[in-house]
Amino acid sequence: MAKELRIAVPNGGEVSALLLRPAKAHCLLALAHGAGAGMHHAFLEELAAALAQAGVATLRYQFPYMEQRRKAPDKPAVLTATVQAAVHAAAEAAPGLPLFAGGKSMGGRMTSQAAALGLLPEVRGIVFFGFPLHPPNQPGTKRADHLAQVSVPMLFLQGTRDAFAPLPSIRAVCKKLGRRATLLVFEGADHSFHVPKSSGKTDAQVLLELAQATAAWTKQLVVAGL
């Protein structure tokens, strides 16, 4: 069962968080939600459960606007401050576990922006569950510019039907990042990692693969001492 926590955010009040720590966890992932749904969204709840089964503890948390039931996301400075506060809370909640951070869509992007600003010195790597390069039908890679300032390894989990990050574009971004970037592609998945019946897989199977890929990548870094 997840443990409920409260996290103080500078200029953002307090936000809720949920710590799910399996008995044999090899690391802890601070997991941020996307722009349109909070930490209680079914995708994140099921992802956290699958990660726990794979040996990855999670600290899911809300951004202030979601906590306060506002529709528009907070300003970037507040979002990155929230990531910083959540990562610090994660480190305090499980001091014996190697720490990673990331999130779904916007949550992952705000995590990497916080890292680029030097706000996450405790974090060993960042996981993106669908990096949002641009809004649908508005191609561009400007949102990825800050990744050049991120010094830790990054895992990009991307669907081939993701309208927010066409595969050729995300491949080009990862190529520029060199060895720091690992790209894993999920055939037929969209930005929400939904797959059509014609793919031969279910959404649940894809979600399990996301968790297993995350667990394998984090464990590799922990074993390597990175």
Encode pLDDT of 114-150 as tens digits: 999 999 999 999 999 999 999 888 888 899 999 999 9
Name, in order, each residue with C-beta under 8 angstroms of 56's C-beta and a sequence gap of 6 or more.
22, 25, 26, 27, 28, 29, 211, 214, 215, 218
pLDDT of amino acid 207 = 96
Structure tokens that stand for 106 in this block? 């916007």
Judge whether 28 and 58 are in contact, CB under 8 Å. Answer: yes
**How far apart are alpha carbons 107 and 3 in whole angstroms?**
21
Q: Does domain 3-224 have CATH number 3.40.50.1820?
A: yes
- pTM for the structure as a whole: 0.96
**How far apart are alpha carbons 149 and 151 in whole angstroms?**
6
Query: Could you state, in order of their start, the residue ranges of all structural domains in the chain?
Result: 3-224
pLDDT of amino acid 154 = 98
Name, in order, each residue with C-beta under 8 angstroms of 171's C-beta and a sequence gap of 6 or more.
183
Output DSSP code: residue 133: -
